[in-house]
A and B are shown apart, each in its own frame.
Chain A
Amino acid sequence: QQQVKQSPQSLIVQKGGISIINCAYENTAFDYFPWYQQFPGKGPALLIAIRPDVSEKKEGRFTISFNKSAKQFSLHIMDSQPGDSATYFCAASSTDGSEKLVFGKGTKLTVNP
């Protein structure tokens, strides 16, 4: 059972465009929703995260939108740059237990110059 579903699998945008990646979760106990960015040969790096008490969080060009009733959250990358080309993973965790992250399967983003 996949607890976090991520789409699209791949995304191509032009420089300056908006990149949008969506995730949906099933476990209502999840209360922390981060996005990770991974470049080839590197481990994932935390990009931005949100908790369910807010509907949106913005850090620079990156924004998370969160819809608790729909159990969905998304990452928006404004003014996308070629340097943003990477694989993005959404994840979710609960404060119960091990606080382990459950990851989506990733979105490979390509930003063309």
Chain B
Amino acid sequence: GAGVSQSPSNKVTEKGKDVELRCDPISGHTALYWYRQSLGQGLEFLIYFQGNSAPDKSGLPSDRFSAERTGGSVSTLTIQRTQQEDSAVYLCASRPDRGNYGYTFGSGTRLTVV
């Protein structure tokens, strides 16, 4: 596609429920990143994919968070047993390959846990 697509754009869920957030990167982009943006906190790195592998998961805040990527394309971020502190905008970004730093971000999924 022309850009990074994320769905849903907004998600309201009850505390304790599981949620899945989807990212469709730009076609051909091998690197994919998930970031979390909380109010006034900037962007916090969560996980990095190169192809289908995730060599850097160091930003995942707890074992309730997981992510996968299939076919070197679509990625899904799953949050289990959501908590109110999980409320944030979850951003996905992709770039062509290593050494090419041109990140393209999607518009994000705004997650609200009530």
Contact = CB atoms under 8 A, between A and B. Distances in A.
A97 interface: yes
Interface string A45-57: 1100100000000
B101 A105 contact: no
Given A98-B56, A99-B98, A100-B33, A44 B43 contact: yes
Contact of B105 (A32, A43, A104): A43
Contacts of B4: 43
Nearest to A93: B101
Given A43-B4, A102-B45, A105-B42, A97 B103 contact: no
Contacts of B33: 100-101
A42 B101 contact: no
A96 to B, nearest CB: 11
Interface string A75-113: 000000000000001010101011111111110000000
Contacts, number: 58
Interface of B: 4, 31, 33, 35, 40-45, 48, 50, 55-56, 59, 91, 93, 98-99, 101-108
Given A43-B93, A43-B106, A101-B33, 11 more contacts: A6-B42, A34-B101, A44-B105, A45-B105, A98-B48, A99-B31, A99-B98, A100-B56, A101-B45, A104-B42, A106-B40
A41 interface: yes
Contacts of A106: 40, 42
A98 B105 contact: no
B93 to A, nearest CB: 8
A16 to B, nearest CB: 29
Contacts of B104: 46
Contacts of A41: 107
A95 B45 contact: no
B91 A43 contact: yes
A45 B91 CA distance: 12
A49 B42 contact: no
A101 B98 CA distance: 13
